[in-house]
Amino acid sequence: MSEKVRYVSDSSFEKEVLQADKPVLVDFWAEWCAPCRMLAPTIDAIAEQFGGNAGVVKVNVDENTSTAQRYGIKGIPTLILFREGKEVERVVGATSKESISRMIEKHVTVATT
């Protein structure tokens, strides 16, 4: 796993995601989820690509049920992009690196202007 990807929990979600000063992509996942494991290298690559412009974190839905419930996670993987403490984009299911990049770029550009 990339060192740029952090694991967050129910207790650290607010500080790490909602209070972040840049957009944060949250990967809701679980160990037993095959599509989640397939998406993991893509998430690592996204973290490397966006470096200091956007954060990338993972939330294990089995270990952090209150955060998963709070955001209505029904299927995994679910990727949610937060900006200024609010959900701005959501993708359910495995998707391409390009589509994730485009989703983040829209908000990184806006955040830095």
User: Which residues are designated catalytic?
Assistant: 33, 36
Residue carrying structure tokens 């992509």: 25
Structure-token pair, residue 78: 């679910």
The 3-state DSSP class for residue 91 equals strand
Which DSSP category does 98 fall into? H
Q: What is the DSSP string of 5-47?
A: EEE--TTTHIIIIIT-SS-EEEEEE-TT-HHHHHHHHHHHHHH
